[in-house]
Every structure is written in C-alpha cells, then in structure tokens.
Amino acid sequence: MKFVRAIWKLLVGIKDALVLLLMLLFFGGLYSALSARPAPVRSGVLDVSLSGSVVEQPARARWSDVASGNRLGEYRLRDLVQALDKARDDGRVKVVALDLSGFTGGGHTAIGDLADAVRSVRAAGKPVIAYGVGYTDSSYELASAASEIWLNPLGAVLLAGPGGSNLYYKGLLDKLGVTANVYRVGTYKSAVEPFIRNDMSPEAKQNYLALDQAELDNWRQAVKQARPKANVDLFLSNTNAAIAAAGGDMAKAALSNGLVDRIGSRREFEQRLAQLGGKDDKDEGGFARIRLSSYIYDSVEQNPKGPIGIVTIAGDIIDGDAGPGTAGGDTIAKEIQQGIRDGIKALVVRVDSPGGSVLASERIRQAELEAKAKGIPVVVSMGSVAASGGYWVSTPADFIYAEPSTITGSIGVFGIIPSFQGTLQKLGVGADGVKTTPLSGEPDLFKGPSPQASQLIQAGVNSMYARFLQVVATARHKTPQQVDQIAQGRVWDGGTAHQLGLVDSFGTINDAVAKAAQLAGLGNERHVRYLEPPVSFRQQLIETLASEGDDNGAMSEDAFASLSQGPQQQLAAMLKQVRSILGGASIQARCLECPAVEPARLGKTDLSLFGMIKDWLL
C-alpha cells in the first residue's frame, strides 16, 4: 500500500506541476499579447487593407466574437484619416496601398472624408494604388480618389445607386394576431409604417426618393470630380449594355469606360507596389509592407489631452449606459460632465445617429446645456446621419456643421405598443379582469389598450412633439409654427437642411474644432481630447483575442461576394430596427429612412425568431 500511495502522490504532484506550468504559460502569453508593441514601422508601403466597414465609433468586441472568429471588421474613421494625414509627410511611407477587396462600406460622409484624406496624400506627391475585385458604390467612391485603380481580371464595377426595399410586417402581424398600437405625430414619420402597412405610403415614397436622389447627385459629383473621364452614367443606367459592348467581359468593360486604370491579379498588384515602395526581403516579388495597425499605433495619438473635448454620439440613442457604437444617454452625459470637471475649454459634439429614445436624447441635451452654462462653447459636427433624436442632441450647439451628404431633420415623435388579443383568440385563450380606475392595468397587452389609455399615450406623443418643436425653434431662432412646416418627421439632405436653416454651414469635424477654438478664444490652439470611457483590462483582453489576424483576413476573389453581404446585412438591420422600436423606449424620436450607421448581422436570436415564426405559421 505504501508503494501505491507513493505512486499516487507522484501522479498528483505531476498533475499539479503541469497545471502550474500551463497557468504560467497562459498568463505569460496573455501578458505578452497585451503588452506587446506592434512591429516597428519601416520604410515601404502603407497597407490600408480594409476588411470591414468605416464607422465613427467601433463597437467593442464580445466573447462571442472570440469564440466564433467571425467578427465584422470596423475601422474608426478618425484613425484612418489621421494615419493618412501623417503618411502624407512621413518619409517612411513611399506609397499607400488601398486594398478594398473586403471593404463593406460606410456612411457617405465618412467615405467622403476618407477620400479627401487619400487625395491629400496624392497632393503631397505620393502615389495611392487601389485594388479591388468587386467595386460597389462606397468602395468605388473611395477608390476614385486614388492615383491608380486596379481591378482583378475576374472582377467588376457594380454601381447600383441608393434605393431598395424595406420590410413591412402588417400581414405577418395579422397572421400572428398581434396588433401594433401606433401613436405618432408627423406626416412623414414613416418609422411606424412597417407595423401598420404592407407597403410604403406615398408621403414616405416622396421623402425617400428626394433623399436618395440627393445622395446620388452628391455621389456622382464626387466621383466625376475625381475621375472626369469615367463613364459612370452608363454604368448607373445600363451596366449590361456596357458589358455587352466589351464582349461580356466585366473587367474590360470597366477599363474601356475609364472606371479603372489597370486589370491585374493580386500578385501583379503587389509587384507594382514593390516597384514603387520597395521589395520585401522575405518574399520574392512581395512589397515592403507597413501594417495599418502598426502605423496607427506608431503615429496616431489615442489619448491626447488638449483643451477641446470631443464627444461622439454614434448609433442608436438608448436609455441608460451603453458601450461604444451605441449612444447610451447616461454614458454620453457622464462623459460630457467629466470633461467639464477636467476643465475643457470647448466642446465638439460629433453626431452620427438616427435617433432613438426621447428621454435619452434629452438627457444628453441637458448635459450639453450644463457645459454652456459653464461658459463652454458647444459646436456640433454632423456625420453621415444626424436625424430625429440625432438632431435633438444637436440643438444646444452654438454652431452646427454638416456636409451636403449628411442626412438630418426627421423632427417627429412616435410610440408603438404591441398587444396580443388576436393571438390569444387564435389560441383559444380568454382575458378578463376588473378595474378600479379607467387606467387600471393599462396599457392592456392582452385585450388592447383602452380608449382612455390610447388617448393618454397620444397626448404624451403630442406633448413630446410640441417639446421637440420648441427646442428646435429656440435653438434656430424660429417660431414653433415655422419649424412645424419643415418638421412633420421629414428627412432632409445636408444641402437642403442648410437652406432651411437647420444647420449653419458645411464643414468637417476639423472645421468644428477650429470653430470651437475660435468661440473659446483659444487662438490657434487645436489640440483635442476624446471624451470616452476608459477601456478595462477585461475589454483589452477581448479586443486582443478577437482582433487576432485582422490584418491578414482572407480576401474574396469573387466579384459578386461584395453583393452577397448586402441582403443579409439589410435583413439584420431590419430585425434590429424591429427589436429597437418594439423593445425600446415607449416614445421615440427615430429615423427609419436613414441608413444604418453601424453594420448589423444576424445572430442566434434572429434565427430563433425566424424558426418560431415559421413554426407558428405552419
């Protein structure tokens, strides 16, 4: 028995030693991953390979992204713009490679700002070479700013212009027995239409068409200015005719119509980069690569401490706290208040949001008013979208900048409360009870809201709309009646909004910073600080693990792969809107017409929802 006990102790000791060794290796590797610096920047080609979308504020990674390995890439606009601005005068950067094979787009204003940064590199005498397989509207607008546009021999330029279909759920809700009790103000407040119609109202169609036409005009002007010889009108109106004229070869059709400069494989593209920026010693025929993440780490200051605070309101505006990529009312307000305590001299509010909760929007507005009460000037810089609640939070500004392609307005309010009396009837379930007052148990989700409850909710919506009109009227020096004429939930492009007096001038965020410095009497001081919550150790770990291999993500060589993501993202965005509207604040200021400002994707919850609906209908 002594021998057996000795063997057992030996095995337990070996096990404990192995566990200790594995823990040491794990935490040692973890420390190395978190503390490691990216590879040093050497002379060569700045490799701007965008495998994902450009956003104002990337959402933070989750553990599910680490487990699945299919995280959607998101690139912060300011990081890309600042990196290109540094590259313009950086002797180490000989050429910029703009690889758009995995690019999934971004807001029109964001793409325009990034294209301007590309043009500034070219203006400094440095070549920018773009490469792609399937250029769509967003990727082609960005590529048009480059010195050379390369297209894969099996690729194509697929220009569609803005527009498309939305989902309408009235028929489905009828089949499920669900009633959408809608309370709204605004002729054009079409955010509720998917729940009460099976098609688009004439008023919404009119608004959509005007908005999309303005966006198309802005896109066409930007592209034609960048590439005057490109026959984009033919590709927009009759792509098939252009391809047929080229003998059915999509790449040659793009080349013959001046949309691209070279047709070549990825290897030929890399050889061109090596010719311009130097060869890679380890890869014969490869180019000396400066990785984007390394260059941003080396050249872009992430935590500046200037006197001008910049707070970002990106994504849906919701009640409470939220991480980056979603505008939690309490989170944004705390960031502004912390900036006030830290002694900022001016505040720039960057808005890229279609709105959301009225209460959260007002929470943010009050924080901005606190800054003004302390003598701190507030300047708003509108991104791609600043509508509905996104416009509400813009009203305290001393000055509002937008861009012609900005989507704004949508001054209107609505509320939706679902009830399930029809569902219970289909199931053979009754609902009954007693009331001590007319509002007992209201809103009744089983029998439907009573007339008294509906009257009360509609009065609340009317009151919120009147409040919205008054807030805008006070800020823009108009009467509520004047605002009502351009409100009613209607959405405007930036150019029209400027004519209507909803914004003060056209300009970028740099113009907003300069204006804030002027109003604060800071002279030529342009240094900023970003009012953002700190990143915890846990979040750093998740980001590190989720971003492994981001710079070397697989690039599709299929011209139509870029189109295949569209339907899935559109469906995911629609389902996200449904969840936000039905599960969010009771009274909302939200813009349905506005494009999504952050990518959406189908999750397990959505797939389960599809399965549940299918089982119910069958």
Comparing C-alpha atoms, which of 545, 546, 561 is closest to residue 103? 561
Q: Which residues have CB under 8 Å from 364's CB, separation 6+? A: 313, 317, 327, 329, 332, 333, 336, 393
Give the model's pLDDT for residue 470: 97
Tens of pLDDT, residues 144-190 = 999 999 999 999 999 999 888 888 889 988 998 999 898 988 776 67
Q: Is the pLDDT of residue 549 over 50?
A: no
Dist. CA 403–CA 76, nearest whole Å: 19
Question: Poorest-confidence range of 27-31, 531-535, 583-587?
Answer: 27-31
Using a CB cutoff of 8 Å and minimum separation of 24, what contacts does 19-27 make? Answer: none
Per-residue tokens: 201: 């109202």
Q: How confident is the model at residue 34 (pLDDT cuts 50, 70, 90)?
A: very low
Instruction: Indicate the SS3 state at residue 578.
Output: helix
Q: How confident is the model at residue 578 (pLDDT cuts 50, 70, 90)?
A: low
Tens of pLDDT, residues 566-575 = 555 566 556 6
Average the pLDDT over 31-59 and give the result.
78
Dist. CA 569–CA 574, nearest whole Å: 9
Report which of residues 70 and 270 the model is more confident about.
Answer: 270
Catalytic residue numbers read: 189, 388
Instruction: Please give the full DSSP string across 194-223, using - where no structure is assigned.
Output: HHH-SS--HHHHHHHHHHHHHHHHHHHHHH
Report which of residues 600 and 99 the model is more confident about.
Answer: 99
Q: Which residues have CB under 8 Å from 119's CB, separation 6+? A: 145, 226
Instruction: Indicate the SS3 state at residue 125.
Output: coil
Q: Which residues have CB under 8 Å from 341's CB, separation 6+? A: none
- Residue percentage of the chain with pLDDT more than 70: 78
Give the model's pLDDT for residue 580: 58
Token pair 């999509």 is found at: 250
Q: Identical fold at 44-163+210-299 and 308-538?
A: yes
The 10 Å CB-count burial string (b at 16+, else e) for 370-380 is ebeeeebbbbb
Question: Poorest-confidence range of 64-78, 106-120, 222-236, 291-305?
Answer: 64-78
Q: What is the CATH number that goes with domain 308-538?
A: 3.90.226.10
Average the pLDDT over 118-138 and give the result.
95
Average the pLDDT over 440-450 and give the result.
91
Dist. CA 452–CA 442, nearest whole Å: 9
Instruction: Indicate the SS3 state at residue 112.
Output: helix
Q: Which CATH class is domain 44-163+210-299?
A: alpha beta
Instruction: Indicate the SS3 state at residue 606.
Output: helix
Tens of pLDDT, residues 372-411 = 999 999 999 999 999 999 999 999 999 999 999 999 999 9
Average the pLDDT over 574-578 and give the result.
61
Judge whether 96 and 126 are in contact, CB under 8 Å: yes
Tens of pLDDT, residues 469-525 = 999 999 999 999 999 999 998 999 999 999 999 999 999 999 999 999 999 999 888
Give the model's pLDDT for residue 576: 61
Comparing C-alpha atoms, which of 197, 198, 210, 572 is closest to residue 409? 210
Dist. CA 6–CA 4, nearest whole Å: 5
Report which of residues 286 and 246 the model is more confident about.
Answer: 246
Dist. CA 337–CA 352, nearest whole Å: 20
Token pair 């939305």 is found at: 166
Q: Is the pLDDT of residue 618 over 60?
A: no
- Taking the CA of residue 34 as centre, how many other CA atoms within 13 Å lie in the half-sphere pointing to its CB? 15
Dist. CA 152–CA 251, nearest whole Å: 7
Question: Poorest-confidence range of 110-119, 248-257, 297-306?
Answer: 297-306
Would you kindly state where each structural domain of the chain is located, as residue ranges? 44-163+210-299, 308-538
- Rank 17-26, 83-92, 531-540 by mean pLDDT and report only the highest: 83-92
Mean model confidence pLDDT for the chain: 85
pTM over 0.95: no
Per-residue tokens: 461: 């919506």
Tens of pLDDT, residues 344-376 = 999 999 999 999 999 999 999 999 999 999 999
Judge whether 53 and 74 are in contact, CB under 8 Å: yes
Report which of residues 584 and 472 the model is more confident about.
Answer: 472
Q: How confident is the model at residue 8 (pLDDT cuts 50, 70, 90)?
A: low
Taking the CB of residue 283, how many other CB atoms lie within 10 A of it? 12
